[in-house]
């Protein structure tokens, strides 16, 4: 299992300058390789006798000319440009496989990072040795034990971090889930998550809380003259605020997903169409502030590490409109209706809690083998289990 641990660094001025140069070298190599790849690919389409571009060929090409044309690249570790081109090759592989979009050019101040292979650095307690630089202090020690695969040093709002990837033999460093039964989680805007037990967790809404200050700093930056020192300071202040918003949101999501995966062995969630939801001009900002995709990503890998499983309901599963007591389904349920009474059994439901209960019931039913599916054991081959669909279901809800 591959696990990455992101640790803040405490470099001095000389070390921070080296990091900036290495990140700039990696960015230049990536952009140079991308431009060469595009040109060579067009030539190859016109004449198949020419070689097709590849990351290995581009690395050899850059190594042959960098001493004469780009001698400043020799001032930093050779891993910086090499790993950047390797990452470009992986980006093209993901693009041609349909897993990602076409690679874009990296920008200064946005993509300030460079990577190192495991044979080019070493870790001793709370410090890391960088080639050509020496030991750099880390704010904490590496949490995981195993084979260290790589490290990526990046800058976020004038702060430097190192992300160390470790291949751990198992997930024994985490205790197994308490197995308090099956739980359902419904995500929303007013409350980040509603649990089937009746609990509601309010999201931090960091962007909304700091929006006034964010607008003020953005206006201040726009008034500064481009290239001036004051504009540079204003840009750093705005970047710090964006980083603070991201940290507040990430902290809340980590605490919530850890709490849920500790309690429940099986958790039912929805397959939300976040991209479609973002098209709503009235709710787009609030939806983005909650970070639904990141919530599900953390929930999946933490459940897998604790021996649990995530059951994802079908995207058209009517969790809010279905009565959790008698299964009666409403024709319409506007978004502003937060509570409703079932016309069939008379039960009064909270919209979010009712949806969470239905997701929990759906997770319970899907753990039973249907039509020869895999059993729901404590360790599954796949960390995300789709909801079961019987053969007699027809129409748009049927799955082949």
Is 186 in the active site?
Answer: yes
* Residue keyed to tokens 């309690």: 263
Q: Are 262 and 177 in contact (CB under 8 A)?
A: yes
Element (H, E) at 395: none
Q: Which of 138, 118, 116, 117 is nearest to 127 (CA)?
A: 138
Q: Which of 384, 382, 397, 349 is nearest to 268 (CA)?
A: 384
Catalytic residue among 112, 300, 314, 352: 352
* Cα–Cα dist 55/81, whole Å: 11
By residue count, the chain amounts to 400
SS3 assignment, position 213: helix
Q: Residue 271: is it exposed, middle or buried by C-beta count within 10 angstroms (0-12/13-18/19+)? A: middle
Is 271 in the active site?
Answer: no
Contacts of 222 (CB under 8 A, 6+ apart): none
Q: Are 264 and 307 in contact (CB under 8 A)?
A: no
Q: Are 164 and 5 in contact (CB under 8 A)?
A: yes
SS3 assignment, position 194: strand
* Helix, strand, coil abundance in the chain, percent, nearest 5: 40, 20, 40
Element (H, E) at 183: strand 182-187
Is 289 in the active site?
Answer: no
Catalytic residue among 124, 140, 186, 300: 186
Catalytic residue among 112, 270, 300, 314: 270
Strand partners, 5: 164
Give catalytic residue positions: 186, 270, 352
């Amino acid at each position: 299992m591959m696990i990455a641990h992101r640790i803040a660094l405490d470099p001095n001025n000389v070390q921070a300058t080296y990091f900036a140069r290495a990140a700039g070298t990696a960015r230049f190599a990536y952009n140079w390789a991308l431009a060469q790849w595009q040109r060579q690919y067009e030539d190859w389409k016109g004449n198949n006798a020419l070689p097709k571009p590849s990351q290995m060929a581009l690395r050899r090409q850059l190594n042959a000319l960098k001493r004469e044309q780009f001698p400043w690249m020799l001032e930093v570790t050779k891993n910086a440009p090499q790993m950047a081109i390797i990452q470009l090759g992986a980006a093209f592989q993901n693009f041609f496989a349909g897993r990602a979009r076409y690679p874009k050019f990296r920008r200064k101040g946005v993509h300030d990072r460079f990577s190192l292979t495991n044979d080019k650095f070493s870790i001793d307690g709370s410090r890391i040795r960088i080639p050509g630089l020496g030991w750099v202090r880390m704010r904490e020690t590496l949490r995981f034990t195993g084979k260290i695969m790589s490290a990526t040093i990046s800058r976020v709002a004038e702060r430097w971090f190192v992300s160390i990837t470790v291949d751990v033999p198992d997930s024994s460093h985490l205790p197994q889930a308490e197995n308090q039964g099956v739980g359902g989680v419904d995500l929303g805007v007013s409350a980040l998550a509603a649990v089937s037990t009746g609990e509601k967790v309010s999201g931090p809404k960091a962007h909304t809380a700091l929006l006034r200050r964010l607008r003020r700093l953005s206006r201040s930056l726009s008034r500064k003259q481009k290239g001036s020192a004051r504009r540079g300071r204003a840009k750093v202040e705005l970047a710090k605020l964006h980083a603070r918003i991201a940290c507040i949101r990430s902290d809340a999501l980590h605490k919530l997903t850890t709490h849920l995966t500790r309690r429940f062995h099986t958790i039912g969630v929805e397959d939300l169409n976040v991209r479609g939801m973002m098209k709503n001009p009235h709710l787009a900002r609030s939806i983005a502030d909650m970070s639904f995709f990141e919530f599900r990503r953390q929930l999946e890998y933490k459940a897998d590490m604790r021996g649990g499983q995530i059951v994802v309901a079908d995207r058209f599963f009517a969790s809010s409109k279905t009565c959790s007591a008698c299964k009666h389904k409403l024709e319409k349920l506007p978004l502003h209706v937060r509570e409703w009474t079932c016309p069939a059994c008379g039960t009064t439901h909270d919209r979010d809690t009712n949806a969470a209960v239905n997701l929990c019931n759906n997770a319970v039913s899907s753990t039973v083998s249907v039509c020869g599916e895999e059993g729901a054991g404590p360790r599954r081959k796949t960390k995300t289990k789709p909801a079961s669909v019987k053969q007699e279901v027809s129409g748009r809800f049927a799955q082949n």
